[in-house]
Amino acid sequence: MYSPLLRLPRSLLFTLLLLTACSGPSDVHETRFLMGTLVDYTVSGVDQDKAEQAISAAADEMQRIEDTFTIYGDQPNAVKAFNKEPPNTPVTLPDEVSYVLGIALHVQQQSGGAFDPALGGLNLLWGFSLDPPPASPPSADAIRAAVPPSHCIRRSGAQWLRTDRRCQLDFGGIAKGYAIDRGIEVLRQHGITNAIINAGGDLRLIGSHGKRPWRIGIRDPRKPGGVLAELDLKGDKSIVTSGDYERFFIYQGKRYHHILSPKTGWPAMQNQSTTVMAPSAMLADAWSTALFVNATPPERPSSVLLMRVDKAGHIHGKLQ
């Protein structure tokens, strides 16, 4: 899913600034490096010890999820093992992986194939998770050969199989959101009712910030430090952004980035960024990636709100 290397999306830095600017005396604020990015925890309205214990448990849980879902690094896990199985061999996946995969395939279906959790081989070929990122694209032949057939991950009873060697699970478009959801759940189990977990600009918030709502900034994809919108939110809200500025390189004057069209195997070029509000961070994460690839999919749940910046820099939609 993520390489262990440090990447600091500018959106995160900006959101951090906003959160810091709003911090009151009863905030506890901690930052951890997880899932290839800085994850920022803000807990409001409880004493320091209680907040720190809760944050520590939430961070442990998010680390566990990263280890469970990642396709990078040397540590074995069930996802990496699945990707090595011969085609058409039914495999049992851990319940949690099965659950997230089921959601991913549902979003794949609703988005008309724009979201595809089987692009692991293609993503490794492009190498956007390497540090430094590659300087030029792979050859067109290599890309064509790495594109998996669509819907190549199937259920087989309670098990799963891949129909083709090119199908390799990659939860990079959804697992960060799932980890944020689990982190919030752990905070709640520790009695926390007012908090934000912000993983590189992808966040879920609960409760409020004292008597006020939480204030969130959505970054401008082409102006570091610039904002497209500021939102005042409370309750339980998840907001995730996919952008062509997160991992990219410029080759011969053209931008190549990490969100790929499953049809062509090349970076999707319709948008600069898509920001989604949805009932969970997992859904917001999957849909922000899906809508980046195709802003007008066949089905989009009415609970999935979209604001996007198209290729020409025009803003469409709003989140409130």
Q: Which residues bind Mg ion (CB under 5 A)?
A: 173, 285, 288-289
Please give the single-letter amino acid code of residue 215.
R
DSSP designation for 221: T
| Shortest Å distance, C-beta 188 to Mg ion | 23
H or E segment to which residue 73 belongs:
none
Answer with the entry of ligand AMP, Mg ion, none that 115 interacts with (C-beta below 5 to 8 A by kind).
Answer: ligand AMP
The answer to whether 170 contacts ligand AMP (rule: CB under 6 A) is yes
| Shortest Å distance, C-beta 177 to Mg ion | 6
Instruction: Sort 122 into a burial class: Cβ within 10 Å, 0-12 / 13-18 / 19+.
Output: buried
The smaller minimum CB distance to ligand AMP, of residues 217 and 297, is found at: 297
Between CA 198 and CA 5 the distance in angstroms is 18
x/- letters, 112..131, toward ligand AMP (CB under 6 A)? ---xxx-x---x----x---
The answer to whether 260 contacts ligand AMP (rule: CB under 6 A) is yes
Answer with the entry of Mg ion, ligand AMP, none that 138 interacts with (C-beta below 5 to 8 A by kind).
Answer: none
Distance, C-alpha 210 to centroid of its chain: 28
Instruction: Sort 98 into a burial class: Cβ within 10 Å, 0-12 / 13-18 / 19+.
Output: middle
Complete DSSP assignment for 265-302 = SSBP-SEEEEEEEESSHHHHHHHHHHHHH-SS-S---T
The smaller minimum CB distance to ligand AMP, of residues 242 and 272, is found at: 242
The smaller minimum CB distance to ligand AMP, of residues 172 and 207, is found at: 172
The smaller minimum CB distance to ligand AMP, of residues 280 and 288, is found at: 288
| Shortest Å distance, C-beta 311 to Mg ion | 19
CB atoms within 10 A of CB 311: 11
- β-pairing, 271-278 vs 305-310, is antiparallel
x/- letters, 73..102, toward ligand AMP (CB under 6 A)? ------------------------------
The smaller minimum CB distance to ligand AMP, of residues 98 and 270, is found at: 270
Please give the single-letter amino acid code of residue 81.
A
C-alpha R_g of the chain: 19
| Shortest Å distance, C-beta 212 to ligand AMP | 29
The answer to whether 205 contacts ligand AMP (rule: CB under 6 A) is no
Q: Which residue has the tokens 């993520």?
A: 2
List residues binding ligand AMP (CB under 6 A): 115-117, 119, 123, 128, 170, 172-173, 242, 246, 258-260, 262, 285, 288-289, 292-293
